[in-house]
Amino acid sequence: MILPNGDRREAKLVARHDPLGVALLKIDAEGLAAFDLAAAGTSPLLGDAVAVVGRSPGGRSGHTFNTGIVSAPSRNRGYQFQTDALLNYGNSGGPVVDAAGNFLGIATAPIEPDTLLGRIVPPPQLMRWTRAPNSGVGMVARADRIAAAFEALKGGRSFDRIPGPFLGVQPDMARAFGEDVVIGGVSAGSPAERAGLKKGDRLLEFDGVELSTWRDLTDRVAASAAGDTVTLLVQRASRGPRLVIAGRDVETLEDLQRLKKSLAPGETFEGVLSTDDTREIAVELEENR
């Protein structure tokens, strides 16, 4: 680690937080200046001016100072915000401040545009660059989220996933940006699979709250807790009457086997034929894997 005066110190990794994109390092040094996390700036707003402080490669040419705005106040479930300030390998890991000098977060690795430019620039031309140029999209780990995780990181706890509840469905990418929440895939062994959700299902409501976009769904899941049982109103294309047993659809042998495993010995149930293409499905959320 290079200190402001140019001294180099060996650093020890204490813990990392992958969702934030940061790590906590420890060095043997005293009297170092530091930001007060408890007094960190409030959540950034769209269009706020920001600046990123960095150092030139190797630290031989002093500091760098790049400015921009907040282009999206929430990314990665609120763990980061997006900026158009130039991020590179000299300021990745550097502090991001507002116009008043308040600490807003830490710049994470810049997003390189190769996957985006590949649609408009021939791959051979991309390969001529020794390093992909900045895409104009950079992510910043939010100061309030860093502060919330600091004590756990200081104690040596690392985070390799976003903590919170897990449902286990993926969008139908052909319709992911429309006003439909249509399932394109269900994760094996997930709460969604155990509850009987299927590819092609359209999710209409989450505990009585209407769902119009995938953002609506992710917000509702994030506001829940692992272990909560939620009710989804689902629309499923049907070729005719379907068998409903104990409130669950039984359309295949696998559905019947899952139902049998969920029943207690001696438990009785009723079955009905239904022609309604909507149904309520209860799902017990679990901790994110």
Q: Return the pLDDT at 41.
A: 61
| Across 65-86, average pLDDT | 89
Q: Tokens in use for 284?
A: 């017990």
Residue 249 sits at φ, ψ, to 5 deg, of: -70, 140
Has residue 58 got a pLDDT over 70?
no
Q: Bridge partners of 244? A: 249, 272
Has residue 241 got a pLDDT over 90?
no
Q: What is the mean pLDDT of the chain?
A: 81
- Contact between 92 and 110 (Cβ < 8 Å): yes
71 three-state secondary structure: strand
If pLDDT is split at 50, 70 and 90, which confidence band does 13 have?
Answer: very high
Has residue 240 got a pLDDT over 70?
no
- Please name each of the domains of the chain with its CATH number: 12-154 (2.40.10.10), 165-287 (2.30.42.10)
Has residue 52 got a pLDDT over 90?
yes
Higher-confidence position of 67 and 176:
67
User: Which residue in the block uniquely carries the two structure tokens 């140019």?
Assistant: 6
If pLDDT is split at 50, 70 and 90, which confidence band does 274 have?
Answer: low
Has residue 284 got a pLDDT over 80?
yes
Q: Return the pLDDT at 247.
A: 64
Specify the pairing of strand 103-107 against strand 95-98.
antiparallel
DSSP 208-268: TEE--SHHHHHHHHHTS-TT-EEEEEEE---SS-EEEETTEEE-SHHHHHHHHHHSPTT--
If pLDDT is split at 50, 70 and 90, which confidence band does 203 have?
Answer: very high
Q: Return the pLDDT at 156.
A: 95
- Contact between 283 and 229 (Cβ < 8 Å): yes
Percentage of residues of the chain with pLDDT beyond 70: 80
| Across 112-132, average pLDDT | 45
Q: Which of 235, 243, 274, 275 is nearest to 259 (CA)?
A: 243
If pLDDT is split at 50, 70 and 90, which confidence band does 22 have?
Answer: very high
Count of other CB atoms within 10 angstroms of residue 71: 18
Q: Return the pLDDT at 115.
A: 42
CA distance 186 to 232: 15
Has residue 177 got a pLDDT over 80?
no
Q: Which of 143, 67, 70 is nearest to 105 (CA)?
A: 143
pTM of the model as a whole: 0.60
If pLDDT is split at 50, 70 and 90, which confidence band does 171 have?
Answer: confident
Over residues 129-153, the pLDDT tens digits come to 444 455 667 899 999 889 989 999 9
Q: Return the pLDDT at 110.
A: 63
Q: Return the pLDDT at 239.
A: 63
| Across 37-59, average pLDDT | 80
| Across 77-83, average pLDDT | 87
